[in-house]
Amino acid sequence: MSAASDAREKLIADNITALRIPGLQATRPPADVRYADVKINFKGRSGSKESWLEVKMNHTDNLGNVRVFWDGQKWGTSIRDGMTPLKKFMVDLLNNGQGKPQADKFLNDLAAFVSPKSKKLNKNHIKVPTTKGGLAEVGAISRAEMAKFVQLRGGQYFINVPNVNLGELVIKHYNEGKAAPVSYLQAADDFYLMGNLDELGLKRINSDIPVVKGMGNFKMRVGIRTEYYELQPEIKILDMGSSAYSLLSSSKKNPFEGLK
């Protein structure tokens, strides 16, 4: 996490609390990928409620942060915290869906790249882990091999599937795929609802708050880290539309005004 995004999350939390709405408080807990960025607590007429808000610096920030691996036979993902909608979407796409031809080509090209002169390897001879520990497995592609392969092939992307309902996918990911459901998104200077969850009932107060939506390309890429690499989605809704509401700018309406 960058210092700028860290500061933005704290600013948004402070701006919510600074409204001085009785019973409303927002905090920025220690960073944890299982949760969103800002926790909101509200004690109103109908009782105590808790909600979460995701904060993005820009509209083009990545809206997905899970990873996949290739075990030599199939694509998989960590289910330590459960099989979330985004994880299921990815493994289905790679194993049996529209992304399979591209994924197969990526794996077979990678296998050919690391093949010894005496034997040509295919995807079933290699493993592509996405954690540091996985690099120790027999048949695992090393970080050095992957870094060189990505460089020589001219790019980090290995999946690009067009015309995906990214808005629907993002809403499911944040509503159901986090340790606590996420109802709201602040992206740049725009505030949105993550679907119909809306635990605080902001839509009842301001009926024109927009819901996150957008079609686009679902991409996956190889990210080269210091000691390992990871395979993860890139979900960017390039045309999310603007919102008349914001928790950042005083020139827009605040979505929490009127909360009781």
Residue 128 CB contacts under 8 Å (≥ 6 apart), including other chains: 69, 70, 107, 110, 140, 141, 146, 231
- Say which amino acid occupies 112: A
Query: Among residues 25, 106, 10, which one has the least CA distance to residue 55?
Result: 10
Q: In which residue are the tokens 């985004």 written? A: 86
pLDDT of residue 123: 97
In-domain check, residue 253:
no
| Number of helical H runs and strand E runs in the chain | 6, 10
Pairing of strands 229-234, 215-224: antiparallel
Listed in order, strand segments (DSSP E) in 4-144 are 24-27, 38-44, 47-56, 69-70, 75-76
Provide the whole-model pTM: 0.92
The answer on pLDDT for 113 being more than 70 is yes
**Which residues are bridge partners to 140 per DSSP?**
127
Q: Where is 231: in which H helix or E strand? A: strand 229-234
Mean pLDDT of 65-87: 92
Confirm whether 71 is domain-assigned: yes
pLDDT given for residue 82 in this prediction: 82
| CB 23, CB 43: distance < 8 Å | yes
Residue 47: pLDDT band with limits 50, 70, 90: confident
pLDDT beyond 90 at 54: yes
Structure tokens at 11: 């600013």
- Strand 24-27 and strand 75-76: the pairing is unpaired
C-beta separation of 69 from 232 below 8 A: no
Rounded CA gap, 37 and 244, in Å? 22
Tell me what the pLDDT averaged over the chain comes to: 95
Query: Per-residue pLDDT for 81 more than 80?
Result: no
Nearest to 81, CA basis, from 96, 93, 65, 105: 65
What pLDDT digit, counting tens, does each position of 94-104 carry? 999 999 999 99
Does residue 16 register a pLDDT over 70?
Answer: yes
pLDDT tens for 139-160 read 999 999 999 999 999 899 999 9
**Residue 257 within a domain:** no
- At 65, the pLDDT band (50, 70, 90 cuts) reads confident
Confidence at residue 1, expressed as pLDDT on a 0 to 100 scale = 60
Query: How far is the CA of 72 from the CAs of 68, 79, 95, in angstroms?
Result: 13, 18, 12
The DSSP code for 97 is S
Percentage of the residues of the chain whose pLDDT score is greater than 70: 100
In a domain? residue 241: no
Phi, psi for residue 160 in degrees, rounded to 5: -150, 100
Instruction: Give the structural domain span for 99.
Output: 3-234
In a domain, 249, yes or no: no
Per the structure, how many domains does the chain have? 1
- Has residue 191 been placed in a domain? yes
pLDDT digits (tens, 9 = 90+) for 173-225: 999 999 999 999 999 999 999 999 999 999 999 999 999 999 999 999 999 99
Residue 245 lies in a domain: no
CA–CA gap between residue 127 and residue 112 (Å, rounded): 13
Cα separation of 73 and 68, whole Å? 13
